[in-house]
Structures are given as structure tokens and as C-alpha cells.
Amino acid sequence: MAKLPRVTLLDSTLRDGAQGEGVSFSVADKVSIVRVLDSLGIDVIEAGNPGSNPKDAEFFREARNLRLRRSILAAFGSTRRRDTRPETDPQLASLLAAETEVVVLFGKSWDFHVRRVLGAAPEENLGMIGDSVAFLRSAGRRVIFDAEHFFDGFASDPDYALACLRAARDAGAECLVLCDTNGVSLPSRVAEFTRRAAALGAPLGIHAHNDSGLGVANTLAAVEAGAVHVQGTLAGFGERCGNANLSTVAANLRLKMGRDCLASDALPELTKAVRRVSEIANLALDEGMPYVGRRAFAHKAGMHVDAVRKAPASFEHVPPGAVGNERRFLASEVGGRSVLLDRFRRLLPEAAKDSPLVVKAAETLKRMEGLGYQYEGAEASLEILLRKAAGSYVPSFKLGRYRTTGEHPAEHPETCAHAMVQLEVAGRREVSAAEGCGPVHALDLALRKALMGFYPSLAEMRLTDYKVRVLPGTGATASVVRVLIDSADDRDAWTTVGVSADILEASWLALVDSIEYKLVKDSRAGIRDRNPMSTGDEHADDDDAENPGRACGA
């Protein structure tokens, strides 16, 4: 059987992704993302439009000093303007000034857009495409031509849409990219139109948006119909509903379709890379994202957990490690004791299902959930709970007291709240104060300030999200609340939970668990020294095991 052709990947996070709501990259951000994409072996990184804004122009100047191992950079821009020669067109001049080996050039291929948006005659648009491609080729650039609105254009006038592709091909474009710019096509239409465009005999690509939720499906349909070049954004974000998610596409190409893409050793790094790009973009990753989301290999129902432990393929379509993710068994009242046993065996490998410690942990879990705790989304707090039950928990500090105050109206909103904490670490009393944007922020800063001298690795930790939910069945302003705090460092992300009728106490409990988990995982990885609170007796007090929400004297 003949080997299928390699599919080249173009990532547009720095161009199309930057057009997504809430996304704004600095030049340093762009450089960081380029390095992530290069490590994966993305073939082409579409790094921006140098003619559209000063920031992109500055990036391309700085990018000349980048030494990439696997990827090449591309500048993005449009065909020449109407009634302008290529040699005098400022857009084309900016593309040459970017000094990239590859230029991605887009042009109209829908007769409706040509007349109503561009205000040009159809033949004039064909000349704009051909002239622009030929001009860039004569300057030594490789050209990828993006046929904007191709699928809408083909549905309206197939001959004209193909004529636009032919004009780019004949002028020297090395790849013709069919763009579902509005994201409205169905996979059947994408496949049919791609097969018909393949009659031109030129390499084809696909650029799909996700407005109908079909970005990935349309991309794969185009590949099956003959496309050998795929465009998207690594985490899927982009204008409106985003672009085809390139991490999902790449994993499907490699694992489901047997198509070569990315570097040979890159797929196990996929999850980490997607998280890093989302973090740089300051966007919360959709944890339900295929392959790389935290929920992608999460199992909750007891029967599912039991089946996966016996035969992972029973409920997992690929091994989690193939994409750098991990299997998660969610602990809850419907998860059964087998979930806890799996977690427990990470702490006590010889633990049995009927072990008194496992039984006690299961009872504690159900009791805590009865109080409003929910651990399926707060696995860091779950690990702290299980460490207490296993007798391997040593608190990193003890709380004396804390106090918060606020100001309203606030003259300076970023410092409208103040917090003081009094702690004890290894017999030493520490008092620290901080101000922040709200009492929880101030508490977090004061707590870490007090602990930094003992645990320097806390300097790299940050809170990334904070959620409050009023629990049902409770009353108005006297309600019990559940607080979830998302935290991260340079390697991992984790979530902790706290529950109380006092929102500050609930926040404090989640903060404490977040710091304790950070220190536990760093100790496990050999990143920090021995806990100064440890006396060598690693068994928690019975009170701690019975009252896990009050760990560390919190």
C-alpha cells in the first residue's frame, strides 16, 4: 500500500487567533508562541500581517534573529489594491519587508464579494491575484494563496471560483488554500468542492472556521478529498467562533487517519503545548477540548471506571499518554470506592479495596460532599484529603489568624483591600500583610509573602481563576458557598475547593489547599527541600483526617 502524502500544518494563532475576542499579544508573547509551535514541528507559522499594524511589523523585525529548528515563518497579506501596480502597492511592500521565506496571500474568490465588497469587476480581481503572486515570486518568495470565501464562491459560480485558483496557480503559488471563511459549510460540501478543485492539479489546502461547530470535521473532510495542507490555530481560538482546532486536527491525522504531520516526537508534547499557548494568550482553556482537555480522559461513573481499569480501550479511544494527557478517575458519590482505590494506590501502592484507610477515605469523601464539597473538579484538594487519610500529610504551616479590610469607594481599585495573616512555620511565627484588588487577592498575596522565605518555589505560582457558587437549599445572604480556585505554575495547573457560609473562609480553605498541593507536588518532583514542618512522623492527626477542610489550622 502506497504511503499517504504528508499533511503540512500552518498555525495562524498569531494572526487569525489574535483576531479573537479578548486576545492581545505583545511582541514577547508572539516570540514565546513561536517557540512553542517550533518545538511541535508546525511547518509554517503565520506570524501576522506586517502591513496592518506597527506591532506585527516590529515582530517581523525582531524575528530575523530567531533561530527556529523545525518551523518557518510566514507573513500574511492581501492582493494588490485596485488600480495599483504591484511595485507600488504598500501591502505587498510590507510583505517583502518582513523578509520571510513564505508569504500567505489572500484574495477574493466569491463573485459576490468581488462586486459588493471589493467593488471590482471579476476580470480585474483575477488580474489582482495573478499580478500579486507573480510579483512576490519574482522577489524570491514562496507563495501560499488563500482563496477567501472559496466554498461560498464555488456554490455561487464554480467557474469563477476555479478561475481565481487558476490565476494564482499559473502565477506561481505553490499551494491553493480553500477557505471556509464564514464557517458555514457542511463536510459533504467541503469534500465535494475540494475534489472538484483537485482537477486543477495543484496542491490544495483547507482553512476552516468554526461558526457551525464543524471546523475540524470540514478540515478532515478536505484532507480525505485530497488536501495536503491544513490551516488552523493550535487551541482553536480566533475570530468569532474560532478556527479549526489544530491540536484536534493533528491528533486525528496522526492517530485516526495515519497521516504524517508534526515532528515525529511531538505528539506526546501536544497537551503541554496547547496549555502553554492558552496561558500566553491569557485565555482559559476549554477543559472539554478533545485530546488535550482535562476532561478528555476523565471517568466518573463507577462502571466506567471499573471497565477502564480492566481494559482502557473500553472507554478510551486513544491512550492518554499518546497526546501528553493523563487518565483521571473523578471521585464523587457516583464514582464508587474503586476510584478512591486507584488514587490511594499512588500514595500506598499495597492498599486494598477493603482497607480501613480506603473505607475511611470513602466515608470522609461522602461526608464532605454532603457539606457541599465537590472534588471531581478539584483534584488537588482531593489529593490533600487522601494524604490525610493515608497518614502521609504534613501541613506546611499553621494558621494563627487572618484579617481582611476593604475600602468603598476605592480611590485605587487595584489596592482596595488589605489582608494580614499570622502563621507558624517550624515553630517560627510569621506575620505578613498585603494589599490587593479584593480581599481574596490580598489574602493570597499576604499568605505567599509570609511563606516565601521557607518555600521559594511559591514565587512561580499564580492564581488563574476564581469561581463562587451559592449552594442550593441555602438561604439568601446566609447561604453556604463553594469556592473553586484555579492555580498554575510553569509546569502544571490545578484546582482546589473550599466550602463555608463565610465566602472569605471558603476562599481561604481553597487557597490553603492550593499552596499545600503546590508544595506537595514540588516535593514529589524533587524541586524543593524537605518540609520544615516535618518531624519524620508522617502521620496526620486524627482530627486532620476527620476534618480535612480545616487542614493547616485553617
Q: pLDDT confidence of 73, banded at 50, 70, 90?
A: very high
SS3 429: strand
Q: Which long-range contacts (CB under 8 A, 24 or more apart) does 413-421 make?
A: 413/437, 417/441, 417/442, 418/442, 419/443, 419/445, 419/446, 420/446, 421/446, 421/447, 421/450
| E strands in 149-212 | 175-180, 204-208
| Cα diameter, the chain | 84
Answer yes or no: is pLDDT of 534 > 60: no
Distance, CA of 107 to CA of 459 (rounded, Å): 49
Do 221 and 363 lie in one domain? The reply is no
Answer yes or no: is pLDDT of 143 > 60: yes
pLDDT (0 to 100) of residue 390:
76
Q: Which of 370, 390, 410 is the last residue of a domain?
A: 390
Q: pLDDT confidence of 108, banded at 50, 70, 90?
A: very high
Asked if residue 431 is part of any domain, the answer here is no
Do 65 and 13 lie in one domain? The reply is yes
Structural domain boundaries, residue 326? 298-390
Question: 96-105, 239-248, 318-327, 393-402 — which is least confidently predicted?
Answer: 393-402
Question: 114-118, 316-320, 324-328 — which is least confidently predicted?
Answer: 324-328
Residue with cell 480501550: 313
Encode pLDDT of 388-429 as tens digits.
877 777 888 998 899 998 877 766 767 788 999 999 988 899
Asked if residue 445 is part of any domain, the answer here is no
Residue with cell 483591600: 417
User: Which residue among 304, 418, 441, 539 is the active-site one?
Assistant: 304
Answer yes or no: is pLDDT of 50 > 80: yes
Q: Which of 390, 422, 455 is the last residue of a domain?
A: 390
Asked if residue 18 is part of any domain, the answer here is yes
Q: Contact, 455 vs 396, CB < 8 A?
A: yes
Answer yes or no: is pLDDT of 511 > 60: yes
Question: 176-180, 351-355, 442-446 — which is least confidently predicted?
Answer: 351-355
Answer yes or no: is pLDDT of 335 > 60: no
Question: 55-64, 382-391, 428-437, 469-478 — which is least confidently predicted?
Answer: 469-478
Q: Which of 234, 249, 281 is the last residue of a domain?
A: 281
Answer yes or no: is pLDDT of 330 > 80: no
Look up residue 138 and give its amino acid.
S
Q: What does the angle CA 421 – CA 427 – CA 432 come to, to the nearest 5 degrees?
A: 20
Distance, CA of 384 to CA of 396 (rounded, Å): 12
Asked if residue 468 is part of any domain, the answer here is no
Distance, CA of 229 to CA of 219 (rounded, Å): 10
Q: Residue 143's closest CA among 187, 223, 198, 203? A: 203
More confident residue, 37 or 475: 37
Helix axes 27-40, 270-281, angle to 10 degrees: 170
Encode pLDDT of 442-474 as tens digits.
999 999 899 988 999 898 888 888 888 888 665
pLDDT (0 to 100) of residue 391:
77
Q: pLDDT confidence of 329, banded at 50, 70, 90?
A: confident
Do 12 and 107 lie in one domain? The reply is yes
Neighbouring-strand partners of residue 485: 466, 496
Distance, CA of 554 to CA of 550 (rounded, Å): 5
Do 307 and 264 lie in one domain? The reply is no
Q: Contact, 245 vs 236, CB < 8 A?
A: yes
Q: What is the mean pLDDT of the chain?
A: 87
Q: What letter does residue 115 receive in the DSSP assignment? A: I
Do 104 and 234 lie in one domain? The reply is yes
pLDDT (0 to 100) of residue 207:
98
What's the residue count for the chain?
554
For the residues 68-94, what does the mean pLDDT come to? 95
Q: pLDDT confidence of 541, banded at 50, 70, 90?
A: very low
Do 74 and 25 lie in one domain? The reply is yes
Do 305 and 256 lie in one domain? The reply is no
Asked if residue 106 is part of any domain, the answer here is yes
pLDDT (0 to 100) of residue 115:
93
Q: Residue 125's closest CA among 103, 104, 148? A: 148
Do 272 and 303 lie in one domain? The reply is no
What distance lies between CA 129 and its chain's CA centroid? 36
Asked if residue 476 is part of any domain, the answer here is no
Q: Is 304 among the residues known to form the active site?
A: yes
For the residues 310-334, what does the mean pLDDT come to? 83
Strands 493-500 and 481-488: antiparallel
pLDDT (0 to 100) of residue 109:
97
pLDDT (0 to 100) of residue 332:
54
Q: Contact, 533 vs 426, CB < 8 A?
A: yes
Do 320 and 219 lie in one domain? The reply is no
Answer yes or no: is pLDDT of 484 > 70: yes
Do 228 and 100 lie in one domain? The reply is yes
Asked if residue 180 is part of any domain, the answer here is yes
Retrieve residue 228's grid coordinates.
495536503
**Which CATH number is 52's domain given?**
3.20.20.70
Question: 43-47, 84-88, 271-275, 533-537 — which is least confidently predicted?
Answer: 533-537
Do 305 and 252 lie in one domain? The reply is no
Determine what percent of the chain is predicted with pLDDT higher than 90.
Answer: 58
Buried/exposed 65-87: b ≥16 CB within 10 Å, e otherwise? eeeeeebebbbbbbbbbeeeebe
For the residues 263-288, what does the mean pLDDT come to? 90
Answer yes or no: is pLDDT of 215 > 90: yes
Do 244 and 373 lie in one domain? The reply is no
Q: What letter does residue 308 receive in the DSSP assignment? A: H
**Number of domains comprising the chain:** 2
Asked if residue 16 is part of any domain, the answer here is yes
Answer yes or no: is pLDDT of 226 > 50: yes
Choose the most confident range, by mean pLDDT, from 141-150, 365-374, 386-395: 141-150
Question: 208-217, 364-373, 522-531 — which is least confidently predicted?
Answer: 522-531
Choose the most confident range, by mean pLDDT, from 252-256, 345-349, 433-437: 252-256
For the residues 332-356, what does the mean pLDDT come to? 65
Distance, CA of 113 to CA of 277 (rounded, Å): 34
